[in-house]
């Protein structure tokens, strides 16, 4: 799942512009983006609701995306986005007790990839921000290192290639969600991150046999949901 972090102040600013588009991210061999209308999609006469759509960033491409209830959405040169005109009422969205806004930040996500069709090599998430630093999750569907061939490997890495001289000390948790019984699998660590190529994680995060067991809930409708929690504890910058 690729997530987009949106600050409440940004929503207020973009409400004037009527439309907010996330940066493009890649999944399943295609480029995508989320399209958000903070005050509703006026072209469809939507009011008092947030409108949210998944769009193809590459034009004139044909792709079919199946969802959990068996329906398919077709993306092509004429229909580049699908989604929800009335995704959530603005009143409910702004109600703190609902948890959609936490510390003035809303996280929007999209699942678009067929896990079984991923390349065997390294997969990278969209870059996200935590502790004023940019990060990315690295996933190896068929494992790497000591986990090659029989485990899924999962790592966290810096997502900004311009921070070669900066060291970041962070406590982080990587997690694969149990989409059925909420018995998630997670590991936690602390590490000094020195460069984007210097990731840290677990080559044997979960065995492929365990991952594919229906009862674990790790794979549902060929989708695997991975999360990262990152807390920056210290930053070292050379003089």
Predicted local distance difference test score (pLDDT) of residue 97: 81
Q: Determine which helix (DSSP H) or strand (DSSP E) holds 9, and give its type and residue range.
A: helix 8-17
Average pLDDT over every residue of 196-217: 90
Q: What is the pLDDT of residue 29?
A: 60
* Cβ(2)–Cβ(126) below 8 Å: yes
Mean pLDDT (whole number) for 61-71: 37
pLDDT band of 89, cuts 50, 70, 90: confident
Mean of the per-residue pLDDT values for the chain? 76
User: What average pLDDT does range 66-94 have in this prediction?
Assistant: 60
Do residues 75 and 65 touch, judged by C-beta distance below 8 A? yes
Average pLDDT over residues 33-50: 85
Question: Can you give the length of the chain in residues?
Answer: 239
Q: pLDDT-derived band of residue 64, with 50, 70 and 90 as boundaries?
A: very low
Containing 92, the helix (H) or strand (E) segment is: helix 90-94
| pLDDT level of residue 18 (50, 70, 90 thresholds) | confident
Asked if residue 33 has pLDDT above 90, the reply is no
pLDDT of residue 148: 93
Let me know how many helices (H) and strands (E) the chain has, helices first: 3, 17
- State the pTM of this model: 0.56
Lowest model confidence (mean pLDDT) among 1-10, 125-134, 168-177: 1-10
Instruction: Kindly report the number of other CB atoms within 10 A of residue 239's CB atom.
Output: 2
Given a contact cutoff of 8 angstroms between Cβ atoms, the answer to whether 124 and 138 are in contact is: yes
SS3 content of the chain, % helix, strand, coil (to 5): 15, 45, 40
Which is it for strands 81-89 and 123-124: parallel, antiparallel or unpaired? unpaired
Q: Which of 19-33, 81-95, 140-154, 212-226 holds the top average pLDDT?
A: 140-154
């Amino acid at each position: 799942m690729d997530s987009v972090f949106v600050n409440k102040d940004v929503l207020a600013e973009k409400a004037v512009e009527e439309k907010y588009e996330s940066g493009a991210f890649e999944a399943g061999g295609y480029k995508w983006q989320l399209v958000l209308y903070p005050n509703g999609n006026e072209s469809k006469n939507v009011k008092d609701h947030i409108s949210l759509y998944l769009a193809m960033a590459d034009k004139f491409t044909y792709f079919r995306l199946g969802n959990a209830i068996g329906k398919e959405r077709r993306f092509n040169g004429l229909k580049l986005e699908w989604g929800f005109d009335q995704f959530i009422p603005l009143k409910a969205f702004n109600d703190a007790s609902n948890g959609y806004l936490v510390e003035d930040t809303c996280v929007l996500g999209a699942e678009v990839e067929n896990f079984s069709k991923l390349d065997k090599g390294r997969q990278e998430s969209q870059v996200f921000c935590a502790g004023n630093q940019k990060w990315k999750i690295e996933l190896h569907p068929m494992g790497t290192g000591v986990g090659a061939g029989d485990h899924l490997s999962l790592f966290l890495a810096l997502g900004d290639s311009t921070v070669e001289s900066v060291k970041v000390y962070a406590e982080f948790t990587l997690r694969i969600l149990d989409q059925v019984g909420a018995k998630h699998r997670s590991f936690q660590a602390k590490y000094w991150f020195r460069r984007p190529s210097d990731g840290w994680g677990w080559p044997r995060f979960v065995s492929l046999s365990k991952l594919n067991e229906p009862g674990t809930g790790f794979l549902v409708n060929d989708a695997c949901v991975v999360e990262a929690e990152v807390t920056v504890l210290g930053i070292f910058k050379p003089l």
